[in-house]
């Protein structure tokens, strides 16, 4: 069962020269069979890697293609967009963070690994935010 969701920020570390890359790599290896990512996260990853000149467009595309081959990718559905707006209203998260949360929830995840949200917070009684660097 895919019950752990990884946010874009962690994948950016994985494909950069950041010192946090090894921690993210360990996390992914430990939970590989239970990790879900979304089409939104893949698009954001490509955008950050190219916009911040971490990787060339071709390298970033190859990274995204590799992730698609190895991980289950959840699409962003119409009902998930509506759910994200409700999460935004309830939590004050940005719309894009709310969409990550909604996608994780709508796919039955119970853990969201992210550095950008409040560590330990539980959303809708189901999804716990974990900052793996804490």
* Residue 47 belongs to domain with CATH number: 3.40.50.1010
Q: What pLDDT is stored for residue 127 in this prediction?
A: 98
Which pLDDT score, from 0 to 100, does residue 100 have? 98
Q: Residue 116 pLDDT > 80, yes or no? A: yes
Q: CA end-to-end span of the chain, whole Å?
A: 26
| Tokens 């119409």 belong to residue | 78
CA nearest neighbour of 26 among 132, 97, 124 = 132
Average pLDDT score over the chain: 96
Number of domains in the chain: 1
pLDDT of the residue at 18: 85
User: pTM score, two decimals?
Assistant: 0.94
**Closest listed residue to residue 101, CA positions, set 120, 117, 115:** 117
Structural domain harbouring 18: 4-130
């Amino acid at each position: 069962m895919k019950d752990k969701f990884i946010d874009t920020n962690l994948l950016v570390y994985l494909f950069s020269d950041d010192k946090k890359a090894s921690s993210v790599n360990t996390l992914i290896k430990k939970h590989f069979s239970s990790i879900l990512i979304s089409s939104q996260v893949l698009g954001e990853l490509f955008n950050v890697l190219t916009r911040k000149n971490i990787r060339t467009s071709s390298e970033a595309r190859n990274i995204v293609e590799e992730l698609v081959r190895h991980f289950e990718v959840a699409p962003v559905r119409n009902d998930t967009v509506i759910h994200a707006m409700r999460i935004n209203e309830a939590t004050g998260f940005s719309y894009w963070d709310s969409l990550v949360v909604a996608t994780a929830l709508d796919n039955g995840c119970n853990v969201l690994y992210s550095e950008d949200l409040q560590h330990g917070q539980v959303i809708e009684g189901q999804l716990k935010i974990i900052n793996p660097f804490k």
